[in-house]
Amino acid sequence: MALVPTQRPSGPASLTQAGTHPSGVCPECGSNRVTALAMTLTDGTPVQFSSCHECEHRLWSHEGEALEFTDVIARATKHKVS
C-alpha cells in the first residue's frame, strides 16, 4: 500500500491571520481579523484584496491606492472578441 505524504499541517486551514491587511487592521472597524490576498485582475492589474471577518468590509488596492468597486469590476471583466 502506498502512503500519501502530508501536504499541509493537520488541523483546520484558514487564510485568516491577524494583521494581514497592510495597515494591520480593518480601516472600517479596527479589527485585526483580516484576510489579505494578492491577485491579478483580468486586465493584468496587480491588486491587494483584503476582507474583514468582523464587519465584512472589502478593499481592493493598486500601488497603495484604493480602487472603487466599479473600477475593479471593469478591470476584471473579460471582453468578448467578435
Q: In the prediction, which pLDDT does 6 show?
A: 53
Query: Rounded to whole angstroms, how far apart are CA atoms 5 and 8?
Result: 9
**Cα dist. 41→7, 44, 58 in Å?**
28, 5, 16
CB atoms within 10 A of CB 41: 19
| Tens-level pLDDT at each residue, the chain (82 residues) | 555 555 444 444 444 444 444 556 898 999 999 999 999 999 999 999 999 999 999 999 999 999 999 999 999 998 888 7
User: What cell was used for 10?
Assistant: 493537520
